[in-house]
A = this chain, B = another copy of it.
């Protein structure tokens, strides 16, 4: 039997980053505050996890306005989609033995 965890992506070990990605897969764009409320996080905590995902180029940021109010939204990148899918495939392979 080979190492069942070797293909899991370390970035997605975090439940929060997993949650962000899962939200971004179904919402092609979501705001900082919506995400914050959805995942029940403090600003700093969310911001740092978003930063990790951005560094990995799994998500990208859009800074814009709603009317004249600033609004930051996030979306998943092609690379992010691919990496997330690969992770889920690895997870599935790992547990399909059930």
Residues in B whose Cβ lies below 8 Å from that of A38: 1-4
- Identical chains in the assembly: 2
- A23–B39 CB distance below 8 A: no
The size class of the interface chain A forms with chain B is 20 to 34
* Complex Cα gap A18–B3 (Å): 12
C-beta contact mask, A13-32 vs B, less than 8 Å → 1, else 0?
Answer: 11110110011011000000
Q: Shortest CB–CB separation between residue A59 and chain B, in angstroms?
A: 16
Chain A interface mostly helix, strand, loop or mixed?
helix
> Given the known A-B contacts A2-B38, A5-B18, A18-B5, are A25 and B98 also in contact in the complex, defined by CB atoms under 8 Å?
yes
Cα distance A40–B5 in the bound complex, in angstroms: 10
